[in-house]
Structure 1
Protein backbone atom coordinates (compact mmCIF):
# COMPACT_ATOMS: atom_id res chain seq x y z
CA UNK A 1 0.00 0.00 0.00
CA UNK A 2 3.02 2.34 0.23
CA UNK A 3 2.67 3.29 -3.45
CA UNK A 4 -0.53 5.19 -2.74
CA UNK A 5 1.21 7.38 -0.16
CA UNK A 6 3.40 8.72 -2.95
CA UNK A 7 0.30 9.96 -4.76
CA UNK A 8 -1.27 11.86 -1.85
CA UNK A 9 1.40 12.95 0.67
CA UNK A 10 3.01 15.67 -1.53
CA UNK A 11 -0.48 17.07 -2.26
CA UNK A 12 -1.28 17.15 1.45
CA UNK A 13 2.09 18.73 2.25
CA UNK A 14 1.77 21.54 -0.30
CA UNK A 15 -1.60 22.52 1.18
CA UNK A 16 -0.22 22.27 4.72
CA UNK A 17 2.63 24.63 3.85
CA UNK A 18 0.32 27.04 2.01
CA UNK A 19 -2.20 27.30 4.87
CA UNK A 20 0.25 27.38 7.77
CA UNK A 21 -0.13 30.55 9.93
CA UNK A 22 3.56 31.39 9.44
CA UNK A 23 3.49 30.91 5.65
CA UNK A 24 4.99 33.80 3.67
CA UNK A 25 5.00 33.52 -0.12
CA UNK A 26 4.26 34.90 -3.55
CA UNK A 27 0.61 34.11 -4.38
CA UNK A 28 1.25 33.20 -8.03
CA UNK A 29 4.21 30.93 -7.29
CA UNK A 30 2.15 29.17 -4.62
CA UNK A 31 -0.82 28.59 -6.91
CA UNK A 32 1.43 27.33 -9.70
CA UNK A 33 3.12 24.87 -7.31
CA UNK A 34 -0.22 23.68 -5.89
CA UNK A 35 -1.76 23.19 -9.35
CA UNK A 36 1.24 21.27 -10.68
CA UNK A 37 1.39 19.08 -7.56
CA UNK A 38 -2.28 18.18 -8.03
CA UNK A 39 -1.71 17.32 -11.70
CA UNK A 40 1.33 15.23 -10.77
CA UNK A 41 -0.60 13.43 -8.01
CA UNK A 42 -3.61 12.71 -10.23
CA UNK A 43 -1.36 11.33 -12.96
CA UNK A 44 0.41 9.04 -10.53
CA UNK A 45 -2.87 7.91 -8.95
CA UNK A 46 -4.39 7.19 -12.36
CA UNK A 47 -1.35 5.16 -13.35
CA UNK A 48 -1.45 3.18 -10.11
CA UNK A 49 -5.09 2.12 -10.49
CA UNK A 50 -4.73 1.49 -14.24
CA UNK A 51 -1.72 -0.75 -13.56
CA UNK A 52 -3.58 -2.63 -10.81
CA UNK A 53 -6.69 -3.22 -12.91
CA UNK A 54 -8.63 -0.48 -11.08
CA UNK A 55 -8.30 -2.30 -7.76
CA UNK A 56 -6.94 -1.04 -4.45
CA UNK A 57 -4.01 -3.02 -3.01
CA UNK A 58 -4.84 -6.13 -5.04
CA UNK A 59 -1.23 -7.30 -5.24
CA UNK A 60 2.09 -6.70 -3.58
CA UNK A 61 4.99 -5.00 -5.34
CA UNK A 62 7.35 -7.77 -6.55
CA UNK A 63 10.28 -6.04 -4.82
CA UNK A 64 8.54 -6.32 -1.46
CA UNK A 65 7.58 -9.91 -2.21
CA UNK A 66 11.27 -10.71 -2.71
CA UNK A 67 12.14 -8.91 0.53
CA UNK A 68 9.39 -10.81 2.36
CA UNK A 69 10.95 -14.09 1.24
CA UNK A 70 14.43 -12.88 2.14
CA UNK A 71 13.63 -11.79 5.70
CA UNK A 72 11.00 -14.41 6.53
CA UNK A 73 9.58 -14.07 10.05
CA UNK A 74 11.49 -10.81 10.59
CA UNK A 75 9.72 -9.11 7.68
CA UNK A 76 7.03 -7.53 9.90
CA UNK A 77 9.52 -5.26 11.67
CA UNK A 78 11.99 -4.88 8.78
CA UNK A 79 9.16 -3.63 6.56
CA UNK A 80 8.15 -1.05 9.18
CA UNK A 81 11.59 0.58 9.18
CA UNK A 82 12.88 -0.24 5.66
CA UNK A 83 9.67 0.46 3.75
CA UNK A 84 7.08 2.47 5.66
CA UNK A 85 8.93 4.68 8.15
CA UNK A 86 11.83 5.62 5.87
CA UNK A 87 9.53 6.39 2.95
CA UNK A 88 7.48 8.80 5.07
CA UNK A 89 10.69 10.70 5.87
CA UNK A 90 11.73 10.35 2.25
CA UNK A 91 8.49 11.93 1.02
CA UNK A 92 8.97 14.93 3.29
CA UNK A 93 12.56 15.27 2.07
CA UNK A 94 11.74 15.38 -1.66
CA UNK A 95 8.84 17.76 -0.95
CA UNK A 96 11.00 20.32 0.88
CA UNK A 97 11.05 22.67 -2.17
CA UNK A 98 7.29 23.05 -1.66
CA UNK A 99 8.03 24.25 1.87
CA UNK A 100 10.54 26.79 0.52
CA UNK A 101 7.99 28.07 -2.01
CA UNK A 102 5.67 28.90 0.90
CA UNK A 103 8.26 30.40 3.22
CA UNK A 104 9.78 33.13 1.04
CA UNK A 105 7.98 36.00 -0.68
CA UNK A 106 9.89 36.87 -3.83
CA UNK A 107 8.42 38.04 -7.18
CA UNK A 108 8.33 35.57 -10.03
CA UNK A 109 11.30 35.59 -12.39
CA UNK A 110 12.65 33.63 -15.35
CA UNK A 111 13.86 30.76 -13.16
CA UNK A 112 10.32 30.09 -12.00
CA UNK A 113 9.24 29.64 -15.60
CA UNK A 114 12.19 27.32 -16.24
CA UNK A 115 11.16 25.30 -13.17
CA UNK A 116 7.59 25.10 -14.50
CA UNK A 117 8.80 23.89 -17.91
CA UNK A 118 10.97 21.17 -16.33
CA UNK A 119 8.16 20.02 -14.01
CA UNK A 120 5.51 19.96 -16.74
CA UNK A 121 7.84 18.14 -19.14
CA UNK A 122 8.44 15.57 -16.40
CA UNK A 123 4.72 14.99 -15.93
CA UNK A 124 4.11 14.68 -19.68
CA UNK A 125 7.05 12.32 -20.29
CA UNK A 126 6.08 10.11 -17.34
CA UNK A 127 2.44 9.97 -18.49
CA UNK A 128 3.24 8.91 -22.05
CA UNK A 129 5.95 6.47 -20.95
CA UNK A 130 3.62 4.79 -18.44
CA UNK A 131 0.81 4.70 -21.03
CA UNK A 132 3.06 3.01 -23.59
CA UNK A 133 4.22 0.53 -20.94
CA UNK A 134 0.63 -0.23 -19.93
CA UNK A 135 -0.36 -0.87 -23.56
CA UNK A 136 2.66 -3.16 -23.98
CA UNK A 137 1.87 -5.17 -20.83
CA UNK A 138 -1.81 -5.43 -21.82
CA UNK A 139 -0.87 -6.65 -25.31
CA UNK A 140 1.46 -9.30 -23.89
CA UNK A 141 -1.19 -10.48 -21.45
CA UNK A 142 -3.60 -11.02 -24.36
CA UNK A 143 -0.95 -12.86 -26.39
CA UNK A 144 -0.26 -15.12 -23.41
CA UNK A 145 -3.97 -15.85 -22.93
CA UNK A 146 -4.22 -16.89 -26.58
CA UNK A 147 -1.15 -19.12 -26.33
CA UNK A 148 0.90 -16.90 -28.62
CA UNK A 149 4.55 -15.85 -28.10
CA UNK A 150 4.91 -12.65 -26.11
CA UNK A 151 6.89 -9.66 -27.34
CA UNK A 152 10.13 -9.79 -25.33
CA UNK A 153 10.98 -6.09 -25.12
CA UNK A 154 9.30 -2.70 -25.37
CA UNK A 155 11.42 -0.59 -27.72
CA UNK A 156 8.85 1.69 -29.34
CA UNK A 157 7.80 5.27 -28.64
CA UNK A 158 9.74 6.88 -25.81
CA UNK A 159 11.15 3.47 -24.93
CA UNK A 160 13.12 3.53 -28.18
CA UNK A 161 15.28 6.29 -26.74
CA UNK A 162 15.40 5.34 -23.05
CA UNK A 163 15.12 2.06 -21.18
CA UNK A 164 13.27 3.83 -18.36
CA UNK A 165 11.59 7.00 -19.71
CA UNK A 166 8.99 6.84 -16.93
CA UNK A 167 11.76 7.13 -14.34
CA UNK A 168 13.34 9.96 -16.32
CA UNK A 169 10.04 11.87 -16.33
CA UNK A 170 9.63 11.40 -12.59
CA UNK A 171 13.14 12.74 -11.99
CA UNK A 172 12.41 15.81 -14.10
CA UNK A 173 9.46 16.55 -11.81
CA UNK A 174 11.45 16.46 -8.57
CA UNK A 175 14.45 18.32 -9.97
CA UNK A 176 12.10 20.94 -11.42
CA UNK A 177 10.87 21.60 -7.88
CA UNK A 178 14.49 21.97 -6.77
CA UNK A 179 14.89 24.82 -9.28
CA UNK A 180 12.07 26.67 -7.46
CA UNK A 181 13.89 26.29 -4.15
CA UNK A 182 17.32 27.15 -5.59
CA UNK A 183 15.86 30.33 -7.08
CA UNK A 184 14.64 31.27 -3.60
CA UNK A 185 18.06 30.75 -2.04
CA UNK A 186 17.60 27.23 -0.68
CA UNK A 187 19.52 25.08 -3.12
CA UNK A 188 20.35 22.64 -0.28
CA UNK A 189 16.95 21.04 -0.86
CA UNK A 190 18.52 19.25 -3.84
CA UNK A 191 19.56 16.57 -1.33
CA UNK A 192 16.06 15.09 -1.32
CA UNK A 193 15.97 14.83 -5.12
CA UNK A 194 19.53 13.48 -5.17
CA UNK A 195 18.74 10.69 -2.70
CA UNK A 196 15.60 9.94 -4.69
CA UNK A 197 17.67 9.64 -7.88
CA UNK A 198 20.15 7.36 -6.14
CA UNK A 199 17.35 5.11 -4.88
CA UNK A 200 15.81 5.05 -8.34
CA UNK A 201 19.18 4.03 -9.77
CA UNK A 202 19.12 1.04 -7.41
CA UNK A 203 15.53 0.21 -8.42
CA UNK A 204 16.62 0.42 -12.06
CA UNK A 205 19.24 -2.27 -11.42
CA UNK A 206 16.66 -4.47 -9.70
CA UNK A 207 14.25 -4.12 -12.63
CA UNK A 208 16.90 -4.90 -15.23
CA UNK A 209 18.20 -7.90 -13.25
CA UNK A 210 14.64 -9.22 -13.21
CA UNK A 211 14.28 -8.72 -16.96
CA UNK A 212 17.40 -10.71 -17.89
CA UNK A 213 16.31 -13.57 -15.61
CA UNK A 214 13.15 -14.13 -17.66
CA UNK A 215 14.06 -16.69 -20.34
CA UNK A 216 11.73 -15.46 -23.08
CA UNK A 217 13.13 -11.93 -23.02
CA UNK A 218 16.70 -12.30 -21.68
CA UNK A 219 18.52 -12.19 -25.02
CA UNK A 220 16.37 -9.39 -26.45
CA UNK A 221 16.72 -7.32 -23.29
CA UNK A 222 20.51 -7.68 -23.20
CA UNK A 223 20.61 -6.33 -26.76
CA UNK A 224 18.24 -3.55 -25.69
CA UNK A 225 20.64 -2.66 -22.87
CA UNK A 226 23.54 -2.41 -25.32
CA UNK A 227 21.73 -0.11 -27.75
CA UNK A 228 19.53 2.13 -25.58
CA UNK A 229 20.25 4.83 -23.00
CA UNK A 230 19.36 3.96 -19.40
CA UNK A 231 17.45 7.10 -18.38
CA UNK A 232 18.12 10.19 -20.48
CA UNK A 233 16.49 9.79 -23.92
CA UNK A 234 19.06 9.60 -26.72
CA UNK A 235 19.53 8.12 -30.16
CA UNK A 236 19.90 4.36 -30.20
CA UNK A 237 23.28 2.89 -31.00
CA UNK A 238 23.98 -0.32 -32.84
CA UNK A 239 25.38 -3.24 -30.89
CA UNK A 240 28.60 -2.76 -32.89
CA UNK A 241 28.82 0.96 -32.02
CA UNK A 242 27.62 4.17 -33.65
CA UNK A 243 24.28 5.95 -33.66
CA UNK A 244 21.13 4.62 -35.26
CA UNK A 245 19.01 7.62 -36.25
CA UNK A 246 16.56 5.64 -38.35
CA UNK A 247 12.84 6.04 -37.66
Structure 2
Protein backbone atom coordinates (compact mmCIF):
# COMPACT_ATOMS: atom_id res chain seq x y z
CA UNK A 1 0.00 0.00 0.00
CA UNK A 2 1.25 3.48 -0.74
CA UNK A 3 1.36 5.81 2.26
CA UNK A 4 3.03 8.87 0.78
CA UNK A 5 -0.11 11.09 0.78
CA UNK A 6 -0.66 11.24 4.59
CA UNK A 7 3.10 11.60 4.99
CA UNK A 8 2.87 14.93 3.13
CA UNK A 9 0.45 16.32 5.71
CA UNK A 10 2.76 15.56 8.66
CA UNK A 11 6.34 16.38 7.66
CA UNK A 12 5.92 20.14 6.93
CA UNK A 13 4.26 20.59 10.35
CA UNK A 14 7.06 18.67 12.07
CA UNK A 15 9.71 20.75 10.26
CA UNK A 16 7.86 23.94 11.17
CA UNK A 17 7.93 23.15 14.89
CA UNK A 18 11.54 22.00 14.71
CA UNK A 19 12.58 25.33 13.20
CA UNK A 20 10.37 27.35 15.59
CA UNK A 21 11.67 25.67 18.76
CA UNK A 22 15.34 25.42 17.79
CA UNK A 23 17.65 27.14 20.32
CA UNK A 24 19.17 29.28 17.56
CA UNK A 25 15.82 30.35 16.08
CA UNK A 26 15.23 34.08 15.75
CA UNK A 27 12.08 35.50 14.20
CA UNK A 28 9.28 38.00 14.36
CA UNK A 29 6.83 36.47 16.83
CA UNK A 30 3.71 37.49 14.88
CA UNK A 31 5.04 36.25 11.55
CA UNK A 32 5.98 32.94 13.17
CA UNK A 33 2.54 32.48 14.70
CA UNK A 34 0.74 33.46 11.51
CA UNK A 35 2.78 30.96 9.47
CA UNK A 36 2.23 28.31 12.16
CA UNK A 37 -1.53 28.83 12.08
CA UNK A 38 -1.67 28.78 8.28
CA UNK A 39 0.43 25.60 8.12
CA UNK A 40 -1.78 23.79 10.61
CA UNK A 41 -4.93 24.82 8.71
CA UNK A 42 -3.35 23.61 5.46
CA UNK A 43 -2.33 20.29 7.07
CA UNK A 44 -5.75 19.65 8.65
CA UNK A 45 -7.47 20.39 5.32
CA UNK A 46 -5.19 18.04 3.41
CA UNK A 47 -5.48 15.30 6.05
CA UNK A 48 -9.27 15.60 6.10
CA UNK A 49 -9.43 15.33 2.33
CA UNK A 50 -7.19 12.23 2.31
CA UNK A 51 -9.14 10.32 4.97
CA UNK A 52 -12.53 11.36 3.55
CA UNK A 53 -11.44 10.11 0.12
CA UNK A 54 -10.25 6.83 1.66
CA UNK A 55 -13.54 6.42 3.60
CA UNK A 56 -11.72 7.14 6.88
CA UNK A 57 -9.38 4.16 6.55
CA UNK A 58 -5.59 4.39 6.70
CA UNK A 59 -3.91 3.24 3.48
CA UNK A 60 -6.87 1.12 2.38
CA UNK A 61 -6.51 1.91 -1.31
CA UNK A 62 -3.46 2.08 -3.53
CA UNK A 63 -2.99 5.12 -5.77
CA UNK A 64 -3.47 4.18 -9.45
CA UNK A 65 -0.10 5.77 -10.28
CA UNK A 66 1.63 3.27 -8.01
CA UNK A 67 -0.33 0.44 -9.58
CA UNK A 68 0.76 1.54 -13.05
CA UNK A 69 4.40 1.75 -11.97
CA UNK A 70 4.28 -1.71 -10.38
CA UNK A 71 2.91 -3.12 -13.64
CA UNK A 72 5.60 -1.29 -15.61
CA UNK A 73 8.57 -2.43 -13.50
CA UNK A 74 7.25 -5.82 -12.42
CA UNK A 75 9.45 -7.58 -9.88
CA UNK A 76 11.85 -4.64 -9.79
CA UNK A 77 9.10 -2.35 -8.49
CA UNK A 78 10.51 -2.12 -4.97
CA UNK A 79 13.58 -0.11 -5.95
CA UNK A 80 11.62 2.20 -8.26
CA UNK A 81 9.18 2.84 -5.44
CA UNK A 82 11.86 3.33 -2.78
CA UNK A 83 14.25 5.57 -4.69
CA UNK A 84 12.03 7.34 -7.24
CA UNK A 85 9.11 7.96 -4.90
CA UNK A 86 9.96 7.75 -1.22
CA UNK A 87 13.62 8.86 -1.00
CA UNK A 88 13.18 11.64 -3.56
CA UNK A 89 10.17 13.02 -1.72
CA UNK A 90 12.13 13.38 1.53
CA UNK A 91 14.40 15.87 -0.23
CA UNK A 92 11.42 17.37 -2.03
CA UNK A 93 9.52 18.08 1.20
CA UNK A 94 12.54 19.65 2.86
CA UNK A 95 12.99 21.89 -0.19
CA UNK A 96 9.33 22.92 -0.17
CA UNK A 97 9.52 23.71 3.54
CA UNK A 98 12.58 25.99 3.28
CA UNK A 99 10.42 29.14 3.66
CA UNK A 100 9.43 27.81 7.11
CA UNK A 101 13.13 27.73 7.97
CA UNK A 102 13.68 31.28 6.70
CA UNK A 103 10.75 32.63 8.74
CA UNK A 104 12.46 31.33 11.88
CA UNK A 105 15.99 32.50 11.10
CA UNK A 106 15.35 36.12 10.05
CA UNK A 107 13.86 38.66 12.43
CA UNK A 108 12.30 41.58 10.58
CA UNK A 109 9.12 43.59 11.24
CA UNK A 110 5.93 42.67 9.41
CA UNK A 111 5.41 44.42 6.09
CA UNK A 112 2.93 44.75 3.23
CA UNK A 113 4.41 41.66 1.56
CA UNK A 114 3.51 39.55 4.56
CA UNK A 115 -0.10 40.51 3.91
CA UNK A 116 0.31 39.47 0.27
CA UNK A 117 1.79 36.14 1.37
CA UNK A 118 -1.08 35.56 3.80
CA UNK A 119 -3.63 36.37 1.08
CA UNK A 120 -2.01 33.96 -1.42
CA UNK A 121 -1.75 31.16 1.18
CA UNK A 122 -5.37 31.57 2.30
CA UNK A 123 -6.59 31.65 -1.32
CA UNK A 124 -4.66 28.44 -1.98
CA UNK A 125 -6.18 26.66 1.02
CA UNK A 126 -9.73 27.82 0.22
CA UNK A 127 -9.55 26.96 -3.49
CA UNK A 128 -8.06 23.52 -2.78
CA UNK A 129 -10.71 22.84 -0.13
CA UNK A 130 -13.68 23.63 -2.36
CA UNK A 131 -12.14 21.91 -5.40
CA UNK A 132 -11.55 18.71 -3.42
CA UNK A 133 -15.03 18.86 -1.86
CA UNK A 134 -16.65 19.26 -5.27
CA UNK A 135 -14.60 16.34 -6.60
CA UNK A 136 -15.53 14.19 -3.60
CA UNK A 137 -19.25 14.99 -4.01
CA UNK A 138 -19.01 14.16 -7.73
CA UNK A 139 -17.32 10.79 -7.12
CA UNK A 140 -19.78 9.94 -4.32
CA UNK A 141 -22.78 10.77 -6.51
CA UNK A 142 -21.44 8.62 -9.34
CA UNK A 143 -20.83 5.78 -6.89
CA UNK A 144 -24.48 5.88 -5.84
CA UNK A 145 -25.67 6.01 -9.46
CA UNK A 146 -23.49 3.03 -10.35
CA UNK A 147 -24.81 1.05 -7.38
CA UNK A 148 -28.36 1.68 -8.60
CA UNK A 149 -27.45 0.57 -12.11
CA UNK A 150 -27.94 4.04 -13.53
CA UNK A 151 -25.58 5.78 -15.99
CA UNK A 152 -22.88 7.85 -14.32
CA UNK A 153 -22.01 11.45 -15.10
CA UNK A 154 -18.90 11.28 -17.32
CA UNK A 155 -17.26 14.53 -16.26
CA UNK A 156 -17.12 17.03 -13.42
CA UNK A 157 -17.75 20.35 -15.13
CA UNK A 158 -19.31 22.65 -12.55
CA UNK A 159 -18.21 24.80 -9.63
CA UNK A 160 -14.48 25.53 -9.76
CA UNK A 161 -14.10 22.70 -12.26
CA UNK A 162 -16.08 24.74 -14.78
CA UNK A 163 -13.24 27.27 -14.90
CA UNK A 164 -10.25 24.93 -14.46
CA UNK A 165 -9.50 21.29 -15.25
CA UNK A 166 -7.39 20.95 -12.08
CA UNK A 167 -8.40 23.64 -9.55
CA UNK A 168 -7.20 21.44 -6.68
CA UNK A 169 -3.67 21.48 -8.11
CA UNK A 170 -3.90 25.23 -8.63
CA UNK A 171 -4.88 25.77 -4.99
CA UNK A 172 -2.04 23.59 -3.74
CA UNK A 173 0.46 25.51 -5.83
CA UNK A 174 -0.81 28.84 -4.49
CA UNK A 175 -0.16 27.60 -0.97
CA UNK A 176 3.51 26.81 -1.59
CA UNK A 177 4.12 29.96 -3.66
CA UNK A 178 2.51 31.95 -0.84
CA UNK A 179 5.01 30.50 1.64
CA UNK A 180 7.75 31.46 -0.82
CA UNK A 181 6.61 35.10 -0.66
CA UNK A 182 7.21 35.09 3.11
CA UNK A 183 10.83 34.01 2.50
CA UNK A 184 11.32 36.37 -0.47
CA UNK A 185 10.19 39.27 1.71
CA UNK A 186 12.93 38.29 4.18
CA UNK A 187 15.60 38.42 1.48
CA UNK A 188 15.70 34.69 0.70
CA UNK A 189 13.97 34.50 -2.67
CA UNK A 190 16.07 31.48 -3.66
CA UNK A 191 13.70 29.32 -1.60
CA UNK A 192 11.17 29.67 -4.44
CA UNK A 193 13.03 26.69 -5.93
CA UNK A 194 10.84 24.36 -3.85
CA UNK A 195 7.59 25.82 -5.18
CA UNK A 196 8.99 25.79 -8.72
CA UNK A 197 9.94 22.11 -8.55
CA UNK A 198 6.52 21.34 -7.08
CA UNK A 199 4.85 23.10 -10.01
CA UNK A 200 6.96 21.07 -12.44
CA UNK A 201 5.99 17.83 -10.67
CA UNK A 202 2.31 18.76 -10.75
CA UNK A 203 2.65 19.48 -14.46
CA UNK A 204 3.85 15.88 -14.92
CA UNK A 205 1.07 14.53 -12.69
CA UNK A 206 -1.46 16.56 -14.68
CA UNK A 207 -0.18 14.94 -17.86
CA UNK A 208 -0.58 11.45 -16.35
CA UNK A 209 -4.09 12.19 -15.08
CA UNK A 210 -5.26 13.56 -18.42
CA UNK A 211 -3.77 10.65 -20.36
CA UNK A 212 -5.66 8.28 -18.08
CA UNK A 213 -8.90 10.22 -18.49
CA UNK A 214 -8.54 10.18 -22.28
CA UNK A 215 -8.33 6.36 -22.24
CA UNK A 216 -11.69 5.87 -20.54
CA UNK A 217 -14.26 5.15 -23.25
CA UNK A 218 -17.27 6.46 -21.30
CA UNK A 219 -15.77 9.95 -20.98
CA UNK A 220 -13.20 10.37 -23.76
CA UNK A 221 -15.38 12.59 -26.00
CA UNK A 222 -16.55 14.80 -23.16
CA UNK A 223 -13.02 15.08 -21.83
CA UNK A 224 -11.53 16.03 -25.20
CA UNK A 225 -14.06 18.86 -25.48
CA UNK A 226 -13.33 19.82 -21.86
CA UNK A 227 -9.61 20.07 -22.71
CA UNK A 228 -10.32 22.38 -25.63
CA UNK A 229 -12.57 24.76 -23.71
CA UNK A 230 -11.24 24.83 -20.14
CA UNK A 231 -8.03 26.21 -18.63
CA UNK A 232 -5.61 23.61 -17.28
CA UNK A 233 -4.86 25.16 -13.87
CA UNK A 234 -5.64 28.86 -13.51
CA UNK A 235 -9.44 29.36 -13.30
CA UNK A 236 -10.59 31.25 -16.38
CA UNK A 237 -13.57 31.72 -18.66
CA UNK A 238 -14.52 29.01 -21.14
CA UNK A 239 -13.19 29.29 -24.68
CA UNK A 240 -14.86 28.08 -27.86
CA UNK A 241 -13.49 24.74 -29.10
CA UNK A 242 -11.49 24.93 -32.30
CA UNK A 243 -13.47 23.98 -35.34
CA UNK A 244 -16.86 24.70 -33.73
CA UNK A 245 -18.61 27.78 -35.11
CA UNK A 246 -20.76 30.04 -33.01
CA UNK A 247 -24.51 29.39 -33.52
CA UNK A 248 -25.07 33.04 -34.38
CA UNK A 249 -22.52 33.02 -37.24
TM-score range relative to shorter protein: over 0.9
Q: 1:88 aligns with which of 87, 90, 93?
A: 90
RMSD: 1.2
Q: Does 1:168 align with 2:181?
A: no
1 CA distance for matches of 2:178 and 2:116?
A: 8
Q: How does 1:1-247 map to 2 (within 5 A)?
A: 1-240=3-242
Rounded to whole Å, the distance in 2 between the matches of 1:214 and 1:55 is: 27
Query: Residues 121-153 of structure 1, C-alpha deviation per residue, up to 9 Å, x if partnerless?
Result: 000000000000000000111111111111111
Which 4+ residue blocks in structure 1 deviate beyond 6 angstroms?
none
Q: Distance in 2 between matches of 1:210 and 1:240?
A: 23
TM (normalized to structure 2)?
A: 0.96
Q: Could you tell me whether the CA contact under 8 Å between 2:163 and 2:237 is conserved in 1?
A: yes
Deviation at 1:104, TM superposition (A): 0.2
| 1:134-181: CA deviation from partner (whole Å, max 9, x where unpaired) | 000001111111111111110100000000000000000000000000
- Superposition deviation, residue 76 in structure 1: 1.1
TM-score (norm 1): 0.97
Cα displacement (A) at 1:241: 7.8
Q: CA deviation at 1:215?
A: 0.4
Gaps spanning 5+ residues in structure 1: where?
none
SS in 2 for 1:236: coil
CA distance in 2, matches of 1:112, 1:86: 31
Structure 1 stretch 231-240 or stretch 111-120: which is displaced more? 231-240
- How far residue 50 of structure 1 moved from its aligned partner, in angstroms, is 0.5
Give the count of matched residue pairs.
243
- Structure 2 runs not aligned, ≥5 long: none
Quote the offset at 1:115 in angstroms. 0.1
